[in-house]
């Protein structure tokens, strides 16, 4: 690469940082679709292994999806019955907007399709979405409350997460999936009352990171309230903090160290 080319690339990257263009930072516009697909599937597989490592699995519950870069009404998802801890990239399923598996072997989780198909349809900006039945998320969800800005990390969700304040059972009916997507609105995360957490992003990196840090924020608030009455961060300060720790760029970069570690620890996932 020549000096001029390096200068141009640096300028493009700086502009992407300023504009929050995640796709540019991931290099996607410069790559052919098959390479973008491969990278998204690698990140998706790694996210599952991380969720397994952190204990977010609960039987067959939980799913993360990523939109296909060419067939944009299709998404990749984990097959039902395969542990997060053992999932391999070759096992991922490609599902169309009718809930049909068009690539891959395995069973599709009905709730995964009902939830994620509605989100991907109503939020064309969303590339990835994550949902699981992790311990602290589902414990917090039973309170029917939004998270409070009690820590710097929790400020990432200040004014940027919603609450689905009802529970009607396993989400298998399309109107239930629609209600969930409507409750999410244009936010990055949703608390599903008596159910758990859901996060979205413009990359797998972002959606997975928001889930991980939201789960930990639920844990922190549960612990703090068990000990006493937490001191809330002032709204103006919480908003300023969110502008640093709650951006798409922050979500993407925060995932990178975890991705590097899990790839080094569990390279078998890409076999």
How does pLDDT run across 238-247, given as a tens digit for each residue? 999 999 999 9
For residue 17, pLDDT beyond 50:
no
For residues 40-49, give the mean pLDDT: 98
pLDDT in tens, 81-99: 999 999 999 999 999 999 9
> Where is pLDDT greater, at 78 or 21?
78
| Contact status, residue 156 vs residue 242, Cβ threshold 8 Å | yes
Average pLDDT, the chain: 92
Q: How far apart are alpha carbons 120 and 114 in whole angstroms? A: 11
For residue 11, pLDDT beyond 50:
no
Of 158, 156, 163, 151, nearest to 220 (Cα)?
Answer: 151
pLDDT at 27: 62
Backbone angles phi, psi at 63, to 5 degrees: -160, 145
pLDDT at 171: 79
pLDDT in tens, 165-211: 999 888 777 888 899 999 999 999 999 999 999 999 999 999 999 99
What proportion of the chain, given as a percentage, has pLDDT over 70? 89
pLDDT at 18: 46
pLDDT at 22: 64
For residues 252-263, give the mean pLDDT: 98
Q: How confident is the model at residue 51 (pLDDT cuts 50, 70, 90)?
A: very high
Architecture in CATH of 31-270: 3-Layer(aba) Sandwich (3.40)
Q: Structure tokens of 168?
A: 């009607």
Using DSSP bridges, classify how beta strands 93-95 and 75-77 pair: parallel, antiparallel or unpaired.
antiparallel
pLDDT in tens, 219-233: 999 999 999 999 999
Q: How far apart are alpha carbons 131 and 115 in whole angstroms? A: 9
């Amino acid at each position: 690469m020549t000096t001029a080319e390096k200068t141009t690339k640096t300028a493009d990257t700086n502009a992407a940082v300023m504009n929050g263009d995640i796709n540019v930072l991931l290099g996607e516009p410069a790559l052919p679709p098959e390479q973008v697909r491969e990278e998204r599937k690698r990140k998706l597989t790694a996210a599952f292994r991380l969720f397994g490592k952190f204990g977010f699995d609960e039987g067959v519950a939980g799913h993360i999806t990523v939109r296909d870069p060419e067939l944009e009404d299709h998404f990749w998802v984990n097959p039902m019955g395969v542990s997060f801890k053992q999932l391999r990239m070759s096992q991922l399923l490609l599902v169309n907007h009718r809930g049909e598996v068009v690539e891959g072997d395995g069973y599709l989780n009905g709730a995964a399709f009902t939830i994620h198909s509605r989100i991907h349809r109503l939020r064309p900006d969303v590339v990835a979405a994550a949902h699981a039945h992790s311990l602290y998320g589902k414990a917090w969800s039973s309170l029917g409350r939004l998270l409070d800005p009690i820590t710097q990390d929790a400020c990432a969700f200040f004014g940027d997460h919603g609450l689905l304040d009802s529970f009607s059972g396993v989400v298998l009916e399309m109107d239930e999936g629609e209600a969930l997507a409507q409750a999410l609105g244009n936010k990055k995360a949703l608390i599903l009352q008596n159910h758990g957490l859901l996060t979205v992003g413009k990359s797998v990196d972002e959606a997975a990171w928001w889930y991980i840090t939201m789960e930990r924020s639920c844990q922190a608030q549960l612990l703090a309230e068990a000990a006493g009455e937490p001191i809330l961060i002032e709204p103006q300060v919480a908003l300023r903090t969110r502008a640093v720790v709650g951006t798409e760029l922050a979500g993407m970069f925060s995932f990178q160290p975890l991705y590097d570690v899990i790839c080094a620890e569990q390279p078998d996932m890409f076999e």
